[in-house]
Structure 1
Amino acid sequence: MAKSPNSEDAKPTMKETQSPPPSGPEATASDAKPAIPASTDTSTPAPTTTDISTSTSASASTDAKAALAARMARFKALQTAKESGRKATEREVRDAEDRSQRLAQLSKLSAANEKASYKLLKADDPDFERKRNWDYTVEESESWDKRQAKKARNRDGNAFADYRGEASKVYKRQVRQLGSVDLEEYAARKGERLQQQVQSGLLQLVETDDGDVFTIDKQGRINTPVEEGYTHDHKPSKEAVDKLVDDLEKGERARLKARAARGVNDDDGGDVTYINQKNKQFNEKLARFYNRYTTEIRESFERGTAI
């Protein structure tokens, strides 16, 4: 089949499709500055997103490690301070205990030394007591004898005699524990009360020829306030209230201590045959006198062989 000449004309050759090279000034410019491909660039490449995130995470991990190390160092310092404080406290407590023990031992040693020296001097010199009494006056000797007699009476009076004697001993002990009384304040309060009763007509004011002034009541008592009904207008001082509270608390502590001691003594491990302390004492007294006669009978009852 013969080809038509039109088909050959429709397919132009390579030479026909290429554009002719530029001429003139355009050709000179293109020849002078040729294009440089991207692969031939020798400069430092720009950092990518992955490199930036890696560097950020590395710096963050470094900061976290530094903060953790600082916290651990502070924690160790606190532990060291705590341990040193505990050791110092224990050392002070031991020193205080040892100090009290040393003082007690020193006092015991000094007392033993005084007793030993007294015995040695008394053994060496038969007239030691008489010579030692030369240094005391008659008043000091009498005062010493009175104190010794009073101690002997108190020692003998410790046993229970009757409830009146017990109440008297308690009263005297409480009076001794009251301490010193402010006599000036007492005299001032008494003078104010006497003046008020003179003004109210309960007392009569009398003046002697020598110029002495005193009060007298209907019964003839001098400078003695008349007993009146309590008007609830007296306000004691804070010191007096504190003293009263301390005295009441001291008595309560003594009662609790005596009660605890009685409870300890009651728990003797034997059979409980009493209902209170007085009943226990009565049963013990009966046991002292009659146990010698009733032991066999009681044991027979306990064995179940009693007739």
Structure 2
Amino acid sequence: MAGNESTGLKKTEISVSPCTSSEPECSTAAAAQSVEEKRKSRLERLRNLKLARNEARKLNRAEVVEEDRKKKLPDNWENRKKRAEWELSEIEKRKQCEAEGEDYDRVKLLDVSAVEAETKERAKRRKKNPDMGFSTYEEASIRQNQRLVKQIKPDMEAYEKQREELGNETFYATVNTILPGKVKDTPEGIQRLVEDLERQKDKAKKFRRRRFYDENKDVDYINERNSKFNAKAERFYGKYTAEIKQNLERGTAV
């Protein structure tokens, strides 16, 4: 009976942990293993940080060297470099067009629009005669004289004829030359003068100079600084003192 009971029992396998016998020793070994892994990971991070530091040091050194090189160059080095590159490309394009039997100036103009060409022409004119704004009446007169001289279309036949009639002494007048009665203006010249004066008057009508003050406004200041102070005070406190100001003007102030 006992034998049958022993044979009928199920055989069960029990897995026993290797550390069942000595639990403290097992926990100590696991802790030591985790500490070693942390140490290795930290050493790896430290090595990567050192590599990154060395790489940054090399890049900084290269940047310092490049900055020192640029500092020793002339101030307009970049513009000169671009200009040299542009000239080299122009030379290469011109050689290519000459090899193909084409006119480079005409080929170059094919890529320029009318608006761009007009803009460049205006820039050239401004460069030759730059408008620096009003400085003195003398400078304004000189600019006007230059503008009028450019508009002159000389008649060389009439020029030679007048020189022959007057002679060199009168034609090339000096300070001591008496001109009244000897030189007579032509009707065409007088008409040109009238038209130019009318044109100047029309241009002056379109010009509006900004006034420093309003001529119709009451003068309540003694100088420019006081005027600015009064304007600022009026801007901030005008709506509060309007009634007081009106009473003072009427003489009904208490």
TM-score scaled by length of structure 1: 0.31
* Higher relative contact order (Cα pairs below 8 Å, separated by 6+ residues): 1
